[in-house]
Amino acid sequence: MSAGPAARAWPAEGLARVPYWIYQDEDVYRREQERIYRGDTWNFLGLEAELPEKGDFKTTFAGEMPVVVTRDETGAIRCFENRCAHRGALLCLKDRGNLKEIVCVYHNWTYDLRGDLTAVAFRRGVQGKGGMPADAEPESEAPRKFRVEVFCGLMFATLSDKTPPVERYIGPGVAARIRRVMKQPVKILGGYTQVLQSNWKLYFENVKDTYHASLLHLFFSTFRLNRLEQKGGVVVGGEGGSHVSFTMMKTDSSGDEYEKAGMRSVSGGYRLEAPQMLESVDEYGDGVTLQILTVFPGFVLQQIMNSLAVRQVLPKGVGRTELVWTCFGYASDDAQMTERRMKQANLVGPAGYISLEDGAATGFVQRGAAGASERSSFVEMGGRTVESNESRVTETSVRGLWQQYRRHMGL
C-alpha cells in the first residue's frame, strides 16, 4: 500500500523541489480527479469551431470523467457528464456528430442537448403494470452539468461555482496572448492523439519548461536555423499554473555563433535540402515566431511559426497521458497559407521535428524515478520563486504549476 497524500510531506525547499511520489501515487491521482478536474479549475474541452451547428456534439473528458459537449438549440455550448442517470452507461458513444436529443442505448432514457432527462421508457409501466413508483425522482441521479465559458473560441468547463471567470483565472498577461493567436475565426485542419507513457504532470511541466527547449530539441541548432541571441520572455499568470513563453527567433542559415560557443549539436555542419518548409509569414506583426501557452490543468495553445494547435492533456492513469492535438488555421486562409501550415505541421505532433522528443522525455522521468519516490527533482533554474522573466533559461513557470497545484491539492 502506498502512503496516502496526508502522510506525504512536500520537501522543505518548497517550489524548488518536486517529490517523485507526486507522479507515482494512486491516492494522489484519485485526489487530483476530485480536487482539480472536478474542483475549481477550468477543463479545456476543445475549439468552439468543432461544433459549428446547433445539435453538434463531441465527447471528451474532464480528467477521467467522460463528458458530452453540445451546441444546444439556442446556439449555446453545453457540457455535461456522459453518464446516464439510470445505470451509469455512456450516453454518447460516438466521438462527434449531430443530434436533436440523446437516447441512452441501454434502456432508452432520453435527454435534451443540455443534459436534462426528458423521458424514461415505460416510466408508468405497460398496460397498468410495472413502471416506477409515482414519487420516483430519477432526475436526482442526472448527469452533472458543467459551467461552460467560451473564451476566444476556446471551450472551458468547470463543475465548481467558485472557479473565477476564465480571464481572471488565467490573468491579463496570458489572456492577451490567447487573444493574439485567436484573433479571428479559425478553421480546423485535423488532429491526432499522442499517447505518453508518463504522468500528466510531467507533460504539463515539459510544456512549461523553457529551459529544455534548446537543449533537448536540436533540430533548429543542428541545421543552424537559429541564433543564440533570441529575444523572448516568460509570463506566469493567474495562480501560477498558467503561463506563456515567447521567442523572437530569426531563422538564419548564416553565422557561426553556435560553433563559437562549442555546441556539440552543430559539429556536423548539416543543412536542410528543402528549407522552404520553414518559410513563414509574420501573421501578428510582432516578430514572435514561437509562443507556447498553458492554462492549468490541461490546456496548451501553440504558435510555432505558422503552425497553430491546441493540445488537451488528459490523464489516463498514474503513468499514462493522452495528448489530443487539434491543428487549425484561420477561416480566411487561402490554399497557399493552408499548404504552409501543413508543411510546418512537420515540426509538431508525434513525428514533429521539434516536439517528438517530448513524447519520450516525460517517459524517461517516469522510468528514471521509479525507485526514488522519496527523492525529488531539483528545480532552481532562475531562482526558487515564481515570477515573470525575460530570460527563458528559467524554470519559473514549472514552479508556478506547483504553486497552483499544491493549493488545489492541499499539499
Partner 1 sequence: MDVELQLNVENLISRYVHAIDDDRLEDWPGFFVEKGRYRITTAENYERGLPLSIVYADSRAMLRDRVSALRHANIYEAQRYRHTVSSTLIERIDGNTARATSNFQVVRIMHTGDSMLFAGGRYLDRIRLDGNDSRFEEKLVVLDSRSVDTLLAIPL
Minimum distance from residue 190 beta carbon to partner 1 (Å): 3
2 binds partner 1 (CB under 8 A): no
218 binds partner 1 (CB under 8 A): yes
The three cell numbers locating residue 344:
510546418
Q: How far, in Å, are 4, 11, 23, 173 from residue 28 at the CA level?
A: 7, 16, 8, 31
153 binds partner 1 (CB under 8 A): no
Q: Which is nearer to partner 1, 94 or 100 (CB)?
A: 94
Interface with partner 1 in residues 275-294 (CB under 8 A): 277
Among 121, 351, 370, 372, binds partner 1 (CB under 8 A): 351
Q: In this structure, are strands 321-330 and 186-196 parallel, antiparallel, or unpaired?
A: antiparallel
Among 6, 76, 93, 195, binds partner 1 (CB under 8 A): 195
Terminal-residue alpha carbon distance, the chain: 20
Q: Contact region for partner 1 (CB under 8 A) — 140-148, 166-174, 185-193, 285-293?
A: 185-193
Q: How far, in Å, are 100, 144, 298, 321, 356 from residue 82 at the CA level?
A: 16, 9, 19, 20, 32
Minimum distance from residue 373 beta carbon to partner 1 (Å): 22
The three cell numbers locating residue 198:
508518463
Burial class (CB in 10 A: 0-12, 13-18, 19+), 374: exposed
- Give ∠ CA 321-235-252 in degrees, rounded to 5: 85
- Nearest residue to 49 (alpha-carbon basis) of 152, 161, 181, 180: 152
Q: Which is nearer to partner 1, 192 or 284 (CB)?
A: 192
Among 342, 388, 407, 411, binds partner 1 (CB under 8 A): 342
Q: Which is nearer to partner 1, 108 or 267 (CB)?
A: 267
- Nearest residue to 311 (alpha-carbon basis) of 322, 345, 238: 322
Phi and psi torsions of 61, nearest 5°? -140, 150
Interface with partner 1 in residues 236-265 (CB under 8 A): 265
337 binds partner 1 (CB under 8 A): no
319 binds partner 1 (CB under 8 A): no
Q: In this structure, are strands 307-315 and 321-330 parallel, antiparallel, or unpaired?
A: antiparallel
315 binds partner 1 (CB under 8 A): no
Interface with partner 1 in residues 89-118 (CB under 8 A): 95
Q: Which is nearer to partner 1, 346 or 388 (CB)?
A: 346
222 binds partner 1 (CB under 8 A): yes
Q: Which is nearer to partner 1, 268 or 371 (CB)?
A: 268
359 binds partner 1 (CB under 8 A): yes
Residue type, 280: S
Q: Which is nearer to partner 1, 27 or 322 (CB)?
A: 322
Q: What is the chain's length?
A: 411
64 binds partner 1 (CB under 8 A): no
- Nearest residue to 300 (alpha-carbon basis) of 353, 226, 358, 380: 358
Q: Which is nearer to partner 1, 80 or 328 (CB)?
A: 328
203 binds partner 1 (CB under 8 A): no
Torsion of CA 164, 167, 170, 174, to 10 degrees: -170
* Beta-sheet strand order (sheet of 96-98): 77-81, 65-71, 56-62, 96-98
Per the CB < 8 A criterion, the answer to whether 247 and 276 are in contact is no
190 binds partner 1 (CB under 8 A): yes
Residue 287: how many CB atoms within 10 A of its CB? Answer: 12
Among 119, 281, 360, 372, binds partner 1 (CB under 8 A): 360
357 binds partner 1 (CB under 8 A): yes
Minimum distance from residue 100 beta carbon to partner 1 (Å): 22
Q: Which is nearer to partner 1, 180 or 224 (CB)?
A: 224
Interface residues with partner 1 (CB under 8 A) are: 95, 188-197, 216, 218-219, 222-223, 265, 268, 270, 272-274, 277, 322, 327, 338, 342-343, 345-346, 349-351, 353, 356-357, 359-361, 363
